[in-house]
Structure 1
């Protein structure tokens, strides 16, 4: 990489922090380390890292509190790296604005892949906000956001209004897990019942229309107990 992407590692365990730092530096990243939530909150605006790796079990404040505070003023990619592997913690972190969630212990390949995805997703989001990206393409799936058109291998797919909104929402966040409650709020509004049944029914209909094999999807994946993730775009 020409310009070294800067990663902020927020981890209070020296062994884990040193391991992550060594891995990132060996792969061409610039790294900043800190061990408390207060340090993280102060370092983010002063150093503007491309990605934050955030542990939840910090000594001075819970990592979720750090995430909540950071999300009040920046959309910088935050990947939670935590020993809390239960679905409740994952959902809570993602609903508070985390871009991804890795459970300890993890492999270096997984960590690096998640960081690359977060950086790509952030760059894509910036392109969309600047009006530079009006399509989504991945493995034969094409979504033209200007024309409200969805095709698979050149064949138009007829979606209902709700189905298109769901596909569009996921396609604007490729590679990122969107929780059930987040999707329901975005599509049906903040006062909609948080009932996953209507969402599952619509998603089943979408998969029948988009996927060659709805049971083994290529485009939209289920994160069991958490939400859905769209394939990364080409």
Structure 2
């Protein structure tokens, strides 16, 4: 699995040091100089995780993190700062940061934290059962506790990636989900768009009476240009 990390860091020297360490751990790094453009970059790139440099008063970083979470992106976000103030940590955690590292940071430790967070997020998404109410639609029933799709008492076999995609759609009824949004929720990179098309087409084949004219998974132009 290739991890892509978007780094918001204005200091070129720090970026170069971090890039060298990440390359040894096979983590692809892209750069943003200011948090002000974070949302625009995430919509285009959809990274596996984000590392943000934040220094007092941190208002721009706080606003960027708030907008990111409000938009539905839930990739792990790490904050790197020289501030050791508890209030700064609490505010950023409440806004959706996953980890707060006080600078100077050990780059080996930082890399390990990033890899662990991304791997844990993927396992949680794909493998963990959920104790939540079943969802029914069009004669189908999704059992989140047993991770099964059932129709007329019979189970329809789904791959883990397909169940994760179905769960995402079922949890967001009547909501337009863009490619970057789906990729973020499923911890995918933009390079995996072809496999996303395949998974969507397979789901349509399994649950739609007429996959070319679907009722449940609608073919919005901004979502999919790929025909099943």
TM-score (norm 2): 0.53
Matched, 1:133 2:132: no
Which residue of structure 2 lines up, in the alignment, with residue 27 of structure 1? 25
Moved over 4 A (4+): 58-61
Cα shift readout 1:28-86 (whole Å, capped 9, x = no counterpart): 11110111113322111111100100111399962111111111111111011111111
1:7-18 aligned at under 5 Å gives the runs 7-18=5-16
Using the TM superposition, give the Cα deviation of residue 89 of structure 1 relative to its aligned residue in structure 2, in angstroms: 0.8
Write the deviation string for residues 195-219 of structure 1: whole angstroms up to 9, x where unpaired.
xxxxxxxxxxxxxxxxxxxxxxxxx
Q: Is the Cα contact below 8 Å between 1:35 and 1:58 reproduced in 2? A: no
Shift of 1:20: 1.2
Match of 1:40 in 2: 38
For the structure 1 residues 19 and 58, does the alpha-carbon distance in structure 2 shift closer, same or farther, using more than 3 Å as the test? farther
Matches within 5 A, 1:59-98: 62-73=60-71, 74-98=73-97
Deviation, structure 1 residue 134: 3.1
Superposed displacement of residue 9, structure 1 = 0.5
Structure 1: runs of 5+ lacking an equivalent: 136-144, 147-234
SS at match of 1:62: helix
Separation in 2 of the partners of 1:36 and 1:21?
17
C-alpha distance in 1 between matches for 2:100 and 2:106: 13
TM-score (norm 1): 0.51
Structure 2 runs not aligned, ≥5 long? 131-143, 146-228
Change (3 A) 1:110 1:125: same
Residue-by-residue CA offset, 1:157-215 (whole Å, 9 max, x unaligned): xxxxxxxxxxxxxxxxxxxxxxxxxxxxxxxxxxxxxxxxxxxxxxxxxxxxxxxxxxx
Contact residue 7 and residue 31 of structure 1 kept, 8 A? yes
Q: Which structure has the bigger radius of gyration?
A: 2
- Between the aligned partners of 1:14 and 1:59, the Cα distance in structure 2 is 21
Contact 1:7 1:52 in 2 (8 A): yes
Kept in 1: contact 2:36–2:61 (CA 8 A): no
1:98 is paired with a residue whose SS is: coil
Within 5 Å, give how 1:53-64 maps onto structure 2: 53-57=51-55, 62-64=60-62
Structure with greater contact order relative to length (CA < 8 Å, sep ≥ 6)? 2
Q: How far does residue 26 in structure 1 lie from its aligned partner after superposition?
A: 2.2
